[in-house]
Amino acid sequence: MWTSLNKKICLFFSIIFTIGIIIGFIFLIYLEESSKELISLNINEWLQSLSTSHINSILEHIIILSTLAILSIFVIGLPLIIFFVFYNGFSIGFLLMSLIEIFGVKGLIYGLIYLIITKGIYLFFLTIFILALIKIIILIIKRLIWHQKMNKNLLATYCKRILICIGVIILSDIILYFGGTKLISIFNFLLN
């Protein structure tokens, strides 16, 4: 059931995400040279340690997603959801621009491959997760303000979606932990 409300929510969050990417790009452009050199050193160290380390976002995702879910029940999660979407866009834009600044077009290609591998599944299920959270917030607001009866079946469906999304994201994080760096290191030739 793809309603016009889902389309509006997706459009709104797509705009927030895109603004985050653009600001992430612009932020790096306006940094001082000393800050850019520090970022360049950090990225080079990160790339060198990538083959010997693990991509570990499991605990971070569990804490953030469960916090967003719990706070959404109290409706105060909405501004945090908007900020979280903006932050994800900002970090992607900043990472891509940093790689472009250091490695040029090869950095862009490497960055896109890295993002597809590490954030592809995450961003897809994060979208479903956010849609379900927004729907729960809407149900709660209708209940609090307009005193409408809450559809418990609909609420249970959204809660199941949230739990499934968290589960899939954690499973994806576990797979990335054990095999992500090996897969990404295949593409290290782009940066030579």
Tens-place pLDDT, residues 10-42: 999 999 999 999 999 999 999 999 999 999 999
Per-residue confidence (pLDDT) for residue 158, from 0 to 100: 93
Q: What's the rounded Cα separation, in Å, for the pair 180 and 171?
A: 12
Confidence of residue 2 (pLDDT cuts 50, 70, 90): low
Is a pLDDT exceeding 60 seen at residue 184? yes
Q: What's the rounded Cα separation, in Å, for the pair 172 and 167?
A: 9
Per-residue confidence (pLDDT) for residue 62, from 0 to 100: 95
pLDDT tens column, 92-147: 999 999 999 999 999 999 999 999 999 999 999 999 999 999 999 999 988 888 88
pLDDT tens column, 149-183: 888 899 999 999 999 999 999 999 999 999 988 88
Is a pLDDT exceeding 60 seen at residue 1? no
